[in-house]
Structure 1
Amino acid sequence: MMAAPAEEEKERVCVTGAGGLVGSWIVKLLLSSDYLVHGTVRNPPGDSKYAHLSKLEKASENLKLFKADLLDYNSLCSAVAGCSGVFHVANPVIPSASVTNPQARVELIEPAVKGTLNVLSACLEAKVKRAVVVSSISAVFVSPDWPKGQVKDDTCWSAPKYMKATKDLVDNYVRVAYPNYNYPHNLSHTDEEEKNVSSDKLQRLGWSYRPLEETLVDSIEGYRMASVLD
């Protein structure tokens, strides 16, 4: 019988944002494939919010959590050191209290860009073989012509016409509900029928719909409190 590989022979892979939904599943998959996993988290690794990670199979011997900030390059270097691959799933979380000026979008977008650059720079320094940057699901989600049952990959992209239809729907509602804000005036309206996706599994688990108007109001009020609207 072939002996099990020694621990030093196992590949190490880092997952940023290991405590989140997507990150947790990636960690679970890597552990099940017998990788040594470095996971970055925002709070100290002993925080109870990461208890679900410690309960994963093989976590006790193959998972190590690192407290890291995407805007702190050195903390990322510590987590990435010794890894052959990195999954960049995390995104900087900016406290709403810090968003207090008309250029708030800069405070939201620039940290995300800088955080990604820090991760990639740490990968370069550690001579990581491959880095995977997780994209937004909206980039592949709205693709009704994609073959049913076929896994969506980096060759599948959302059709612009459906993205535009959704944007117009939201824009028109917000203009009516919040008429005192400044809006662009060069948007066109479309009556194309929207393609739906099934939520049967979610509903069987107890999830229920919230009206579009309700979710939009929540979003606008949140942005208003964070001073990102002018």
Structure 2
Amino acid sequence: MRAFIRQIMLDTTVAQEIDKSSISEHTCLPTGFSSLDHALGGGLHFKNVIELCGKTNTGKTEFISNLLASYILHTTNPSVYIFGSTGSFAPKRMHDILQKHNIQTAVLSQIEFSQVFSIRELSLSLENLGALLAASTREQSLIIIEDLSSIAAEINWMSSEIKHLTEIIKSLSKLQNMIIIQHNISKSNLQPKFETYWNPMIDLRLYFNKQAEYQRAYLVEILKTRYKAIDD
């Protein structure tokens, strides 16, 4: 386990053209940002729980949009499951994302969005998804939990509810899936209360911080990773 590997500047105006080769026999997904992909050994890894942290409006939603496009372009039979309460990736928003990346909007039929407003609802929805995926032949699904802070408002992070949620998420990742969790939280609030159940579940934690001098540039810190990151 390595904590704080390096800082990487991402400029969302110059994201690379995504290579459209298949990921069916690969274990990671390119993000479209060469510096980050290089640092992570090729991109974000399947069978991982990945947490994107940072205050609001620091580039996490746009980063996920690029990642969604990368996943769809790399996968012959994509399956995307999105859970949240804000609608950042609701069907209309997804339609716009696909058009921006010149992806046929027919793929919307393979993207499922579920509204959840509590940890209990999220756990139940993920449990149902786990049963569905365990009985199917699909591999390497992309599962996104958007704006966890709005779902987990006032939650006790050392409660049995959080323990149950982390067990469900870990079991989903073991089914060859990639779990992306958008967590609008400042670095100062990543407190010891997360250590009991939440932190041990996270395989990769990226922290996003907008740079004032660049309108669309973001500093990304690798705060935690289970696999070797490249330092040069």
* Structure with the larger strand share: 2
Pick the TM interval, shorter chain: 0.3 to 0.5
Which structure has the higher relative contact order (CA within 8 Å, separation 6+)?
2
Greater Rg, structure 1 or structure 2? 1
TM-score of the pair, normalised by structure 2? 0.37
TM-score of the pair, normalised by structure 1? 0.37
* Structure with the larger helix share: 1
